[in-house]
Amino acid sequence: MISIGILDLQGDISEHFEAVKKALKKLDIKSDILRVKTVSDLSKCDGLIISGGESTVIGKLMDKTDMKLAIIDQNIPVMGTCAGLVLLATETDYKQPLLGLIDMKVKRNGFGRQKASFEEEIEIFGSKYRGVFIRAPYVEELKDGIVLAKLRDKIVALASGKHIATAFHPELTNDTKIHEYFIKEVLKCVE
């Protein structure tokens, strides 16, 4: 039995909750799915998802609630989508709180503002995938990790150790392969 937490400070939490539930069922794995609002909630998790939303707001709330230090200290697998990808970085093009768990430089709103949001097919894990890009960032430089997907020569998905990050929103599709990948990483860390 594992526990997957979804950071519940700001962003699209309920969509990730449903995606994790579907992925666990598909993998036939028993797990608790927790909404993480406090450091105490985080202490019950084997893995954490940081969803899309406002990366600056989420970062400031992580600092204010001591969640940032707790995430770093707990040293569990983290999956970041969109704003979550930004927060996992060591550097971005805007001064804001970052977790620094993946050595990379990120361009916020790299594909444009909200009205420039789009869906486009990408290839990840050897198959086609519909990427939903909403004010999406991209990785300008990945110093430690492997590229899982690119779009227009920009890195939009990567793995670094036990962490995974996407510039797009996998929780907004019916395809659970990215959540499944993350759950398997969590399993490796608890075995």
**Where in the sequence numbering do the catalytic residues fall?**
82, 169, 171
Q: Are 52 and 169 in contact (CB under 8 A)?
A: yes
Whole-number CA gyration radius for the chain: 15
> DSSP for the chain?
-EEEEEE-SSS-HHHHHHHHHHHHHHHT--EEEEEE-SHHHHTT-SEEEE-SS-HHHHHHHHHHTTHHHHHHHHT--EEEETHHHHHHEEEESS-------EEEEEETTTT-SGGG-EEEEEEETTEEEEEEESS--EEEEESSSEEEEEETTEEEEEEETTEEEESS-GGGSS--HHHHHHHHHHHHHH-
Structure tokens at 76: 């569990």
